[in-house]
Structure 1
């Protein structure tokens, strides 16, 4: 049955200023436009789920409903069930974070956690600093709270501290309030780079010295191709750091589970904000996640995924080396989901995105990851979901498209 179009009103509905300020997700817009059979998608940062133990998960779900159904399908605690919060503490310990389960607030993915933190701390006109390029979903959160976003240049070691200091000084000179540094320090989305150990200390010090908060978003930290785990920023700066974690990339996004730990003074405020939005995270989902983590085999499954993503990354790069026009460059991620590509002048990745869809592939143009109009000669390729054969085929199509576009621009 065909879906009915949205009902039309007899008058224009005036949006709030906050809603007007919000940006739609360019990533999800491109993703929706590509939903047709046979499409090869480099657009969505969706994990490959094929190695999950679905039989065991089904058994866990059955036991939860049979033994704890009255709890699993009932309202729950606003900050999450205790057993999942204990598991989260153990996971964060792998990155050097020492926390108590009572410090953890479970959320519907780290996206909700980020929105809660922004709601609690950002006033209209406050300045949020973020890597350039940066996570489009994060930028949408900050613009919806009417913040001004300033992109900080990055290089192979991540965000450049000296540039952050310069931009903070310019912000103050313009009479604005520097409020937050937002960073994805591990296998950054979309740049794929790691913030170096020294720079983690440098940016924390800069934030503290300038009376700023630090939002540390870390959905990819356990997804290093060779199992390497970088230390978190939070242990050195717990008084200013909001740490966001997620099960969406290391397990599966369908359960919509993430978390946040925050400076102590803000903890109860975040719980109140979460209650207002959703009352509590889904109890059944939390129980299923906890059952999965009860079995130490989850670490072996994670190791399988690291190998899968490494093989996909290598297939993508090997193909791009053969097919992309001369002058194309890309980063060398050591984990995560993303390859950041820069193409020669004369190729506009935003203009070509729908031509790519017509040819059977979808990518995200670099403009989706900036709020200042930059990114026309850049793009993000997600290698996490397509098969290796699809990656090779899709990259070859991409090479043809960009080679033709460059030739026609001369």
Structure 2
């Protein structure tokens, strides 16, 4: 039974705050961008005129009024969906659980591009699935490595039918897979009979306003797409969606209904009202500008504090929330967490993004929510921690 399977990895503590702590850990959006006065008025009108419906249970579907808001977002990356191919979720984290429980059986193997979002690996493990890492290169998933991994698993008698990836402004690396590699990847997945799970929270958050064609747009019959309003609106509403091939919708709908019984009618109505009155463009542009500025502040500070020829290497992302540092000599970054805590700064060690101890030499820094005036100070504190003698990592590699 999947319920007897404890996750092999805990979720990192992302949202701890307080005191003088400068947190580079959790991927929180910058809600200063939200037009709260306008949203307040919309919610007030919604509750006044339709509160008895908005606060009630509802049918397990994406509300008719919300479908245009979802299809608008997906179309910006050339994706497409209809009401019949959409399944509501409480954010894409619930979508990950629904995929693990609804599209696979306990003991099956899900292939995962690493370093990977730890919420995905925890969800799949909680669903009773085994994980197998797929190697990557600068452009994303290594296709020869993917073939070798799948064939080796199947030769060993293991079932491997799902491939999970986060191809645009990836968490944690910030990298984006080029369109040509996406096409090649999808061809290999058809060849190997793999269903692709595309997790896309950050796709619309490029700093220059550009977008990259979604995997779902290139092969909608072989991609299950996970979308969320958490990063382009606000996470507190806990609202997202799955866009799936039509033959998979019943299994995913049954699973999400068991998990949540009903989506939030209030959240769906609030998002639909916001989109109807003003669309997404101004809000998304505001988020892009905020993250572009914060990313530049952090990257500039890293160059000043750590240099470019020392033991730490990184690349400036062109979108998303994160900068990924790696130690050239392979030092486990969990050894620096205590020194960082003493200096009042936090980060997520790289071991959280692997599935078998790999990537322990990395660390993830999130710039999206840190006050602009404290980013340089936080990087200075971090540099001091990284220069301190490395202690044994707390609790092993995690």
TM-score (normalizing by structure 2): 0.94
1:26-68, Cα deviation, whole Å (9 max, x unpaired): 32x3x36x43322111100110100111000110011001111
1:84-138, Cα deviation, whole Å (9 max, x unpaired): 1221012111111232122211210011112111111122222211111000000
Residue 337 of structure 1 corresponds to 321
Q: 1:346 to 1:259 in 2, by over 3 A?
A: closer
Residue 13 of structure 1 corresponds to none
What stretches of structure 1 move > 4 A for 4+ residues in a row?
A: none
Q: Give 2:225's match in structure 1, choosing from 233, 243, 251.
A: 243
Query: Counterparts of 1:167 and 1:331 in 2: how far apart (Å)?
Result: 28
Query: Counterparts of 2:240 and 2:318 in 1: how far apart (Å)?
Result: 23
1:172-212, Cα deviation, whole Å (9 max, x unpaired): 22221111110101000011100111111111111111111
Query: Counterparts of 2:379 and 2:256 in 1: how far apart (Å)?
Result: 42
Query: Counterparts of 2:86 and 2:330 in 1: how far apart (Å)?
Result: 49
Alpha-carbon offset, residue 24 of structure 1: 4.8
Alpha-carbon offset, residue 19 of structure 1: 4.3
* Two-structure CA RMSD over aligned residues (Å): 1.8
Q: 1:26 to 1:356 in 2, by over 3 A?
A: farther
Q: 1:26 to 1:70 in 2, by over 3 A?
A: closer
Is residue 20 from structure 1 mapped to residue 11 from structure 2 by the alignment?
no
Q: Which shifted more, 371-380 or 184-193?
A: 371-380
Is residue 107 from structure 1 mapped to residue 89 from structure 2 by the alignment?
yes
Query: How many pairs does the alignment contain?
Result: 390
Query: Counterparts of 1:52 and 1:381 in 2: how far apart (Å)?
Result: 23
The within-5 A match list for 1:66-85 is 66-85=48-67
SS of aligned partner of 1:209: helix
Alpha-carbon offset, residue 17 of structure 1: 5.6
Query: Counterparts of 2:18 and 2:161 in 1: how far apart (Å)?
Result: 42
Is residue 203 from structure 1 mapped to residue 185 from structure 2 by the alignment?
yes
Residue 159 of structure 1 corresponds to 141
Q: Which shifted more, 124-133 or 398-407?
A: 398-407
Q: 1:17 to 1:89 in 2, by over 3 A?
A: closer
Is residue 259 from structure 1 mapped to residue 241 from structure 2 by the alignment?
yes
* Contact 1:346 1:405 (C-alpha < 8 Å) held by counterparts: no
Residue 339 of structure 2 corresponds to 355
Alpha-carbon offset, residue 301 of structure 1: 2.1
Alpha-carbon offset, residue 406 of structure 1: 6.6
Q: 1:303 to 1:37 in 2, by over 3 A?
A: same
Q: Which shifted more, 315-324 or 250-259?
A: 315-324
Q: 1:17 to 1:214 in 2, by over 3 A?
A: closer
Residue segments in structure 1 that go unaligned for 5+ positions in a row: 1-15
Query: Counterparts of 2:147 and 2:45 in 1: how far apart (Å)?
Result: 54
SS of aligned partner of 1:401: helix
